[in-house]
Amino acid sequence: MPTGREIRLAARPNGMPRHGDFTLAEVDVPEPGPGEVLVRNLWMSVDPYMRPRMNDVPSYVPPYELGRVLDGPAVGAVVASRAEGLAPGDTVVHWQGWRDLALLGGHEARRVDTELAPAQAYIGVLGMSGLTAYVGLLDIAGLREGDVVFVSAAAGMVGSLAGQIARLRGHRTIGSAGTDAKVAHLRDDLGFDAAFNYRSGDVADLLREAAPDGIDVYFDNVGGDHLEAAIDVLREHGRVAMCGAISTYNSAGAALPTLRNQFKIVGKRLTLRGFIASDHMRRMREFREVAGPWLRDGRIVARETVFEGLEHAPDALIALLAGENVGKMLVRIA
């Protein structure tokens, strides 16, 4: 029986997670039974919503359990299969990240084509991250001609794709990020029309300066003062696609997010709509047909920040929550 390694939740964090909140454990992994596959993970994804899953609060995905292995998107190579249609050597995406060996039901693994794009693209730009950006802009915010689009956490994977999709569709696009280097990346590499470092002043002032005539769509990855600022600057009938609220995930006590201007949601007839990309899987094929050629032709830039080794997955999550990534945050497992 092969021995695998996995990352478990050792303690529920209070504020920013720390190394001691995770443990690395060895486990025996059984050979696949009928209908199962054994996968050696190559890459795993680290995503902001994993932070709220570390709390004992029910949400759209159940909280991580204390003492148990975490999970999340991963891509790997089939090493043994008793599942129809899957053979050793196949590359598959699935949901059992945070471990090096994954034993899966065949229906939990989906084969991907690594000739079209590298394996890790399927848990990033051509995976849920990309679908999130696409669905959030088109279906949730209902992007229409002439909309001015603002994206927060715009140097992250979802934000950078949302901004680039908006730009490719001809919209004036504004992004925020937390360092001057990221702001330069937004302007110079990703083609944002305007960008600002939200740490350099009051977010509403900075946004108003970047969008003096206002915005129509806000793609929100951040919440907190970004959301408040966007509500200030949105024009009438503006729309907010609420994708995440990373600024609030570690907050407690004095840092509790306000929404002082909530009456403006009424006065400007704004719509704020939360969404989860996994509700919209039916759009994945269309999204890949649209985004695949963009990626191949270099019209979309999809940067990666890579941590090496499963044992550094907790560091990758902590760095992500501290805003240290550019583009997709990945852990290379094998």
91 forms beta bridges with 77
The one segment of 162-170, 202-210, 219-227, 319-327 that binds its own copies by CB under 8 A:
219-227
* Cβ contact 219:137 at 8 Å: yes
36 forms beta bridges with 105
Single out the residue of 77, 70, 71, 81 nearest to residue 34, CA to CA. 81
Question: Which residue reads 């590298």 in tokens?
Answer: 118
The one segment of 62-70, 263-271, 309-317, 320-328 that binds its own copies by CB under 8 A:
263-271
Question: Which residue reads 């590499």 in tokens?
Answer: 189
Q: How far apart are CA 122 and CA 274, in angstroms?
A: 24
Binding mask 14-53 for its own copies (x = CB under 8 A): --------------------------------------x-
At residue 213, the 3 state secondary structure works out as coil
Q: How far apart are CA 243 and CA 219, in angstroms?
A: 7
Single out the residue of 235, 237, 236, 211 nearest to residue 151, CA to CA. 211
Residue ranges in 223-262 that form contacts with its own copies under rule CB under 8 A: 223-224, 227, 236, 242-245, 248-249, 251, 256-260, 262
Question: Which of 1, 266, 282, 289 is the binder for its own copies (CB under 8 A)?
Answer: 266
Residue closer to its own copies by CB (options 36, 147) is: 147
Tokens of 59: 């949400």
319 forms beta bridges with none
Question: Which of 20, 59, 68, 308 is the binder for its own copies (CB under 8 A)?
Answer: 59
* Cβ contact 98:6 at 8 Å: yes
Nearest distance from C-beta of residue 243 to its own copies, angstroms: 7
Which 8-state DSSP code applies to residue 82? -
Tokens of 195: 């960008």
Residue closer to its own copies by CB (options 171, 239) is: 239
Residue closer to its own copies by CB (options 112, 270) is: 270
Binding mask 279-298 for its own copies (x = CB under 8 A): x-------------------
Interface size with its own copies, residues (CB under 8 A): 35
Residue closer to its own copies by CB (options 199, 260) is: 260
Nearest distance from C-beta of residue 220 to its own copies, angstroms: 9
Nearest distance from C-beta of residue 185 to its own copies, angstroms: 26
Which residues sit at the interface with its own copies, rule CB under 8 A? 52, 59-60, 223-224, 227, 236, 242-245, 248-249, 251, 256-260, 262-276, 279
